[in-house]
A = this chain, B = another copy of it.
Amino acid sequence: MRSHLQLTHEPLVIAAPVFPAETDSGAWVDFFGVVRGQEQERAIAALHYEAYEAMARRELERIVNALGVKYPVQEVWLTHRLGCVPAGEPSLHVRVRSAHRAEALAFTGELIDEMKRSVPIWKMA
């Protein structure tokens, strides 16, 4: 499994996936985590994300490698934006490709669950 993990302070620019003609990937999943304009009936202009970056990268790598053993996923891209993210903009993009859909969807969900649980990235209103 190839992986591309990135923390960035810039807005996420995500192009639609391009599928190679010779592909062995029948399933592509894109997940976007977007800052909502309200949270518990309170209007939100932006969220602020901070990270302990070196540790966050290491922990993301650990999670991705562990899930890559569990699920036969071919390639994963994960980009998390840090700093101020205005409402309506994505703070997280995950893209996964695999032969079949079940592992791509399960990998995506577990990756984000694990990330929220153990990666030192904090969100503040």
Contact = CB atoms under 8 A, between A and B. Distances in A.
Interface of A: 14-17, 19-38, 86-90, 99, 101-102, 105, 108-109, 112
A105 B109 contact: yes
B87 A22 contact: yes
B30 A34 contact: no
B19 A89 contact: yes
10 tightest A-B CB contacts, nearest first: A21-B88, A30-B30, A28-B32, A22-B37, A26-B36, A105-B109, A16-B16, A19-B88, A19-B34, A23-B88
Contacts of A15: 16
B101 A21 contact: no
